[in-house]
Amino acid sequence: MQPQRDLRGLWLLLLPWFLLLLEVARAGRLVVSCPAACLCASNILSCSKQQLPNVPHTLPSYTALLDLSHNNLSRLRAEWTPTRLPHLHSLLLSHNHLNFISSEAFSPVPNLRYLDLSSNQLRTLDESLFSGLQALEVLLLYNNHIMAVDRSAFEDVVQLQKLYLSQNHISRFPLELCGLPKLTLLDLSSNKLKSLPLSNLQKLPAWFKNGLYLHNNPLHCDCELYQLFSHWQYRQLSSVVDFQEDLYCMSSKQLYNVFNLNCSEYKERAWEAHLGDTLTIHCDTKQQGMTKVWVTPSNERVLDMVANSTVTMFENGSLQIKGVQVEDGGVYTCYAMGETFNETLSVELKVFNFTLHGHHDTLNTAYTTLVGCILSVVLVLIYLYLTPCRCWCRGVEKPSSHQGDSLSSSMLSTTPNHDPMAGGDKDDGFDRRVAFLEPAGPGQGQNGKLKPGNTLPVPEATGKGQRRMSDPESVSSVFSDTPIVV
């Protein structure tokens, strides 16, 4: 009986350990102790300043914060940890010698929210490098040697709020980062930026521009850059107010402060609208999620989505005015209230007393009148220069008798005929006579022109001088009813 009792006691002693091992096996977890080179406190592992060339392989799966800063790590491969770390939310890798990061390096840490890669030797941010970190909120990449940022490096990083890229060698403004929905801080200071997409930056909301740091870059000096930063200064945005003395630009290989450029002073422009337009005014605050209230120029508060109202406010705080009228003009005030501060914005609306469609009609009428005038001038020129050829376009002049004048010769001469053979004792001056064309006879056509095959009878000389037919070289008149002084 004694051996049976001993076996029963031994079984009772081993049963708890057996149940514990069974539970661990069910959970699929391995009990791993703290690595020798690290200091562990609950779920925090500090392996800093240990001159580690590689990441320790035995990392507990429950690790929430892993500090590997100030070591000798040079490459972060896909298999840098054989254990998946689903609870890891903070990873510190600053002050190492990292020059390569695998595109699959962050697959074992899908819930990472804070990543510090500052003060390393990274040169490029490759395609889809951080795409797997959909929970990432803060990323530090300052003080590296980054020259190029791939357009898809931050694709699907929809929770990213703060991105530090200062003190690198970036020469292209990464405009794709402006599309991240929750990004409120983008530090691009102390890089190699020479130009900015000014038109795109002007369209960004104030809460984004408030955290867009661009100081200490060799930007090209021009007045558009001055207007951009002057507007930010007018709005008291932190990115300009806090670093106003460090906003430089380059011209002729010399640095100038942007606000010392010889450009026209910035003035806030009013919103413009025409009669009948539908206009949407935004309350462009420096912080997201603020409670907004609009007050009209007549000091009336705008209620949210009131039915049958021409002025309404949407859930995002924007103000819409339907069927704009002249009396809608004036200053609209937006009162914004947030957790940390309040803000008041004023927007001036200028309404033109005509419809935009009517304005186009006026332009069309003026254009039609101009075209009509041009066509009239063209028709006159065609009439003058495309009529049958007159005497001045004839070739070598051949002598002809009065009976054989050309059919294209003039009917009346505007210059006096001086015949040296004519007799008479006429005083100084020339003989004045008024002649009228007779109605067209059988041998004349329209405007007193001769029909082919007919000749004009020559009148006999009478009075003090002999009068001949007009010289072929004289300027002719084609108007049959006009009296001519000869």
pLDDT category, 404, cuts 50, 70, 90?
A: very low
355's tokens: 């419809």
- Asked if pLDDT for residue 417 goes beyond 90, the answer is no
The per-type count for the chain, helices as H runs and strands as E runs, is 6, 25
- List C-alpha distances in Å: 96 to 73, 90, 118, 136: 5, 17, 9, 21
Q: What confidence tens digit (pLDDT) does each residue in 148-189 have? A: 999 999 998 999 999 999 999 999 999 999 999 999 999 999
User: For residues 406 and 471, what is the distance between their CA atoms, to the nearest angstrom?
Assistant: 11
What pLDDT band is residue 29 in, cutting at 50, 70 and 90?
A: very low
Q: In what order do the strands lie in the sheet with 44-46?
A: 39-41, 44-46, 65-67, 90-92, 114-116, 138-140, 162-164, 185-187, 212-213
Helix (H) or strand (E) holding 332: strand 330-337
Q: Is the pLDDT score of 8 beyond 70?
A: no
The string of pLDDT tens digits covering residues 333-345 is 999 999 888 999 9
β partners of residue 177:
none
Q: How far is Cα of residue 443 from the mean position of the Cα atoms in its chain?
A: 76
Give dist(CA 136, CA 115) in Å, integer: 8
Position 4 scores a pLDDT of 54
- Residue 135: what pLDDT? 96
pLDDT at 53 over 90: yes
Rg (CA), the chain: 47
pLDDT for 258-280, tens place per residue? 999 999 988 888 888 888 889 89
3-state secondary structure 40-87: EECCEEECCCCCCCCCCCCCCCCCCEEECCCCCCCEECCCCCCCCCCC
Of 4-18, 113-127, 296-310, 402-416, the poorest mean pLDDT is in 402-416
- pLDDT, tens digit, 9 for 90 and up, residues 436-467: 444 444 444 444 444 444 444 444 444 444 44
Query: What are 113-147's pLDDT values in tens digits?
Result: 999 999 999 999 999 999 889 999 999 999 999 99
Q: Which 3 state secondary structure label does DSSP give 100?
A: strand
Query: Which position has the higher pLDDT, 475 or 346?
Result: 346
Between CA 334 and CA 283 the distance in angstroms is 6
Residue 318 or residue 468, greater confidence? 318
Q: Please compute the mean of the pLDDT values over residues 283-301 and round it to a whole number.
A: 91
Three-state SS for 432? coil
pLDDT confidence bin for 16, thresholds 50/70/90: low
**Confidence (pTM):** 0.67
Counting Cα atoms < 13 Å in the Cβ hemisphere of 297 gives 11
Tell me the average pLDDT of the chain. 79
As a residue count, the chain comes to 486
Of 159-163, 358-362, 371-375, which range is least confident?
358-362
Q: Cα separations (Å) of 136 from 70, 78, 170, 189, 403?
A: 22, 18, 22, 22, 109
Average pLDDT over residues 220-243: 95
Most confident of the ranges 194-208, 260-274, 358-372: 194-208
| pLDDT surpassing 70 at residue 396 | no
Which tops the pLDDT comparison, 51 or 303?
Answer: 51
pLDDT at 464: 43
